[in-house]
Structures are given as structure tokens and as C-alpha cells.
Structure 1
Amino acid sequence: MEMNIRPMQDEDIKQVQDIAKTTWYATYKGIIPVEVQNNFLKTAYSDENMKRRLERSFLYVAEVEGKVVGFANYSPIRDGGKVELAAIYLYPQLQGLGIGTALLQQAIIDLEGIKEIYINVEKENHIGKAFYEAKGFKIVEEFDDLFDGHTLKTVRMVMKI
């Protein structure tokens, strides 16, 4: 499998929107109501918000055989070298092949001064939690998060670099 990790570009927006939609429905089925998912995806992954993300954060895409199949979105580096991994998604059929790991490693290489990556994960997202735990993330906090009128059980996970 030929894989390439690179910075996201404007022309990747449509594919990233499709990856987000496909992955959200697969990941959060039975966890987050479909109408809440639809509202979030419509807003968070709108063309305008994707362009804003490109300007204000670090976005990487994963290509397999020339096709974009996954992406990761990191915040700017904050005080103390902290970075939030806001999203990392790839098509479900390609999970477990090292693509998510490559998206994580690229940020660690590229983002100067990074000392800690944190992410908020829905507690029932067992696939996501297992991925992060396998990469060395530790749960540091659990909390309820009101998400479009739906309460999510959320865990914050942190990986020290």
C-alpha cells in the first residue's frame, strides 16, 4: 500500500467532508442521534469552516494510491507546547492499516515545540479510545459535554511527547 501524508489544500475540502460524514455515521451510530450528527457535520464541515480551519490550524491528509482517505486537524501550539488533536478520521474500511498512526506522527515531526497532544473522545467510541491508548495517550479527565442538546460522556486523553 502506497501512502503519503501531506498538508491539506483547498482542493481536498470535498474529500475531507466526505470522510468526516462517512466516519461520523459509522463511529457514532447508536451513540449520538443522527439529527445531532447531521447538524454538527453541516456546520463544522461547511465549506466556510473548512477554509477557516485551513487558515487557522494544521490539517494533514492521508493519500493511498493517490486518493485522499483520511485527515487530521491540529490546533495551533498553545502555551507549554500543548496541541489539541481536534479530529482524526479515515474511512472505516481503512482503519487498522497504520494510516491514523502516520497522521499522528507527521504532526509530531512537523509541529515545533510540541510537548503534549490532547484529545476529547466520546467515552463510548471504543475504536477511537483503543487507538489513542495504543499510541500512548492516557485518560486524564472525564466529563459531561452538552452537544447540540445531547449530553456526551467525554474523556480527555493526553500523550506526552
Structure 2
Amino acid sequence: MQIRPVRESDLSEIQKVARKAWLHTYRGILPKESILKFISHAYSLDNLRKAWKKDCNKPQRQFYVATENNRIVGYGEMVEREPGKYELTRIYILPEFQGRGIGKRLLNQLMETADPLQCMFAWVEKENISGRSFYQSMDFHAEEEVEDNFFGTVTKLLKYVRNW
């Protein structure tokens, strides 16, 4: 298992991982049509390329992939929202690789690159029990709940926060 910064050549594989992971994670929670609309926008090659280019210009990379035998099995990205305060904007692992500590390794890598790191937060779908368990295992706690309109579906998001 290797954790490394995203390369431009990874972007189409990240799209494939995103599609599979999102459809698996949110089945029964969000309508498939809404998930596919979101993925086509948020994970378009143009949007991923913009995120990758922006990441390449940072002194500390904040967009990583996890690979096994040169196959991308997961990815994670954070964005500094204000000095020392980071939002984990995406972290997903292929379903068949979940439960093996890959997400924790990705998150730890991201936390190690954040300097200074005072606070990290992530928005989690309230019904995403496995996602909530992941954050709780990493010492995050739910601090806030908001309603969100996800491509026509009203949903509830929890803000998971960890302070240092």
C-alpha cells in the first residue's frame, strides 16, 4: 500500500473510484440519479484537473491517492479554509478495500501535511453510518447539523470536527 500525491494521470482512475464508492456508500440514502449528477459535476475531468493544478501549487500537497499494486483504491483531499483550519472535502475508498485501514492512513497523511493544524472538519451525511464511525474512530465529534438540498433531495449533514 502506498499513499502519494495525486498525479494528472490519476484523474480518470479517481473518477472510477468515486463513482463506485459513492454508489456503494449512498445506496438507499440518496437517489441514484442524484448521485450520478453529483459525480458528473464534482468529479468531471475539468474539476479534478483544477483541484490537481491548485494542489500542485501548494507548498504542502493536500490531494492524495492510496494505491495497491499500482491500482488506485482510494483518495483524499483537504482544503485550508483559514490559517490552521482545514476541511476534509473528500475521502473515499473502493468498497472491496474498506475496513483495511486505508482511509485512516490517507487521513493521517493529510493531517501530517497540514501545518499548522489547529482544526479539521468534514461534512457527513447523517445516514452514512460507516462514514460517521470512521470519523469517530479518528477522534472527530459531531458539532453541528444542517439540512442540505442534494440535487433535489433534502438531506441532513453533520459537521464532524477535530481540534488540536
Q: TM-score range by the shorter chain?
A: over 0.9
8 Å CA contact 2:77–2:110 kept in 1: the answer is no
Alpha-carbon distance between aligned partners in 2 of 1:112 and 1:93, rounded to the nearest angstrom: 32
Question: Structure 1 vs Structure 2: percent identity of aligned residues?
Answer: 35
Matches within 5 A, 1:84-103: 84-103=87-106
- Name 1:60's counterpart in structure 2: 64
Q: Deviation at 1:78?
A: 3.0
Question: What code does the residue aligned with 1:18 have?
Answer: K
Alpha-carbon distance between aligned partners in 1 of 2:70 and 2:7, rounded to the nearest angstrom: 14
Q: Deviation at 1:14?
A: 1.0
SS at 1:108 equivalent: helix
- Structure 2: gaps spanning 5 or more residues: 56-61
Matches within 5 A, 1:42-57: 42-57=40-55
CA offsets 1:32-51 (integer angstroms, 9 cap, x no match): 10110111000100010001
Alpha-carbon distance between aligned partners in 1 of 2:81 and 2:43, rounded to the nearest angstrom: 23
Alpha-carbon distance between aligned partners in 2 of 1:28 and 1:80, rounded to the nearest angstrom: 32
Alpha-carbon distance between aligned partners in 1 of 2:66 and 2:34, rounded to the nearest angstrom: 27
SS at 2:36 equivalent: helix
User: 1:69 aligned to 45, 51, 73, which one?
Assistant: 73
CA offsets 1:49-84 (integer angstroms, 9 cap, x no match): 001111234210001122111000111x23341100
Residue 36 in 1 paired to residue 39 in 2? no
Q: Deviation at 1:115?
A: 1.3
- Name 1:136's counterpart in structure 2: 139
Tell me how large the CA RMSD over aligned residues is: 1.0
- Structure 1: gaps spanning 5 or more residues: none
TM-score, with normalisation over the residues of structure 1? 0.94
Question: What code does the residue aligned with 2:69 have?
Answer: E
SS at 1:78 equivalent: strand
- Name 1:24's counterpart in structure 2: 22
TM-score, with normalisation over the residues of structure 2? 0.93
- Name 2:157's counterpart in structure 1: 154
Question: What code does the residue aligned with 1:106 have?
Answer: Q
Alpha-carbon distance between aligned partners in 1 of 2:71 and 2:36, rounded to the nearest angstrom: 25
Question: What code does the residue aligned with 1:52 have?
Answer: K
Alpha-carbon distance between aligned partners in 2 of 1:55 and 1:123, rounded to the nearest angstrom: 32
After TM superposition, the structure 1 stretch with the greater mean CA deviation from structure 2, 78-87 or 124-133, is: 78-87
